[in-house]
Structure 1
């Protein structure tokens, strides 16, 4: 069976909840009730078929870290509800051509260096 490969653009709170949820429910049976999900299986695909293949962010505190570590890095504040094994996905430096939003400008420190060509 092939995998559902997922690239995350922005490793913030939503990404943290998604990555933790996939790790937490990875071994749920196909007929198991899982809070927050309608189904553990969609067609031939099960939660365990989700594979994170890339992650992009601009925050200096996240770029260069494994995704499993970056999701728990400040300023993220999603509660930890699941351990996440190392993914082998290093967070790449994203583009900041449109700047950093005014609400996050005092919190997010842009990573040094050139943007990574992840396309």
Structure 2
């Protein structure tokens, strides 16, 4: 592991985020010398998959806001293939801002979180 982790914040805890979080967990101990199915490079420069550290997550879905990222990736309408059991991450999904609205069909499937949107800039700095 590098002394400088790659700190990742997720905006929108949907299927792509679910696959990313599961993939990082699944490949965290991958041997850089081995052939790894599903992963082209275990290392990128001086970084290993294990250097990816999730530090924040934002969403508007009431079933995801306020819960650990590991639970949020499996919540609500997410339906990506489960490849790994992700343990609690210590990252609580925070209520993001609904700046560009929500699609009419999406609104038919979820309930927006009643939580007040957080100051995203402050959350990222913390």
Shorter-normalised TM-score: what interval? over 0.9
Unaligned runs of 5+ in 1: none
Counterpart for residue 63 of structure 2: 61
Alignment of structure 1 residues 1-119 onto 2, 5 Å: 1-119=3-121
For residues 36 and 106 of structure 2, the distance between their equivalents in structure 1, rounded to whole angstroms, comes to: 33
Q: TM-score, normalised by structure 1?
A: 0.95
3-state SS in 1 of match to 2:84: coil
For residues 104 and 35 of structure 2, the distance between their equivalents in structure 1, rounded to whole angstroms, comes to: 40
Residue-by-residue CA offset, 1:43-74 (whole Å, 9 max, x unaligned): 11000000001000000000000000000102
Instruction: Give the aligned CA root-mean-square deviation in angstroms.
Output: 1.0
Comparing 94-103 and 2-11, the one that deviates more: 94-103
For residues 84 and 52 of structure 2, the distance between their equivalents in structure 1, rounded to whole angstroms, comes to: 16
Comparing 43-52 and 98-107, the one that deviates more: 98-107
Bigger share in helix? 2
Residue-by-residue CA offset, 1:5-45 (whole Å, 9 max, x unaligned): 00000000000000000000100011222233220001110
For residues 113 and 67 of structure 1, the distance between their equivalents in structure 2, rounded to whole angstroms, comes to: 17
Q: TM-score, normalised by structure 2?
A: 0.90
Flag as ranges the 4+ runs of structure 1 deviating above 6 A: none
